[in-house]
Amino acid sequence: MAERGGSVVIRPFPSTCEVCGSTVGLINSSFGALCSTHYEEAKERVKTEYKGEPEQYGSEPICPYCGHKYSDAWELGLGDEEEDEAECGLCESAFKVTAHWSIDYSTRRMEVGSS
Ligand SMILES: [Zn+2]
Ligand SMILES: [Zn+2]
């Protein structure tokens, strides 16, 4: 869990790729400011480094390619379908999302002697 008061480095928006220093085609991505080449590399790297199962099940959607958790399922832009396709905002992989709905029951006593 992330602790409050961690070190957040506030930097001015970088205008060069953090890896090679190129200024061409800069992408302000989840991985930082990167040129398209290193952005592709960074996306591949998170997928390569991810050791999770290709199928994920939990209370929040998890990208089965890079393990990125979506605490807010709306981030994935899902519709009302039980099964939908989504694209990971981090590694840009497309994956299937199935919503498992659970049913809750409530019971209460019949009213007696109300005739
Ligand atoms: Zn670069
Ligand atoms: Zn992903």
**How many beta carbons lie within 10 A of that of residue 65, not counting itself?**
21
Position 73 scores a pLDDT of 80
Q: How far apart are the first and last CA of the chain?
A: 58
Give 41-47's long-range contacts (Cβ < 8 A, gap of 24+).
43/90, 43/91, 43/92, 46/90, 46/91, 47/91, 47/93
CB-based burial label for 35 (10 Å; 0-12, 13-18, 19+): buried
CA–centroid distance, residue 19 to ligand 2 (Å): 21
Q: Please, which residues have CB less than 5 A from ligand 2, an ion?
A: 63, 65-66, 68, 88, 90-91
Domains of the chain by residue range: 14-49, 50-104
Whether the pTM exceeds 0.85: the reply is no
CA–centroid distance, residue 41 to ligand 1 (Å): 9
Q: What is the pLDDT along the chain (115 residues), one digit of tens a residue?
A: 444 555 666 656 778 999 999 999 999 998 999 999 999 999 999 999 999 999 999 889 999 999 999 988 888 888 788 899 999 999 999 999 998 888 999 999 998 776 6
3-state secondary structure of 46: helix
Position 1 scores a pLDDT of 45
Position 52 scores a pLDDT of 93
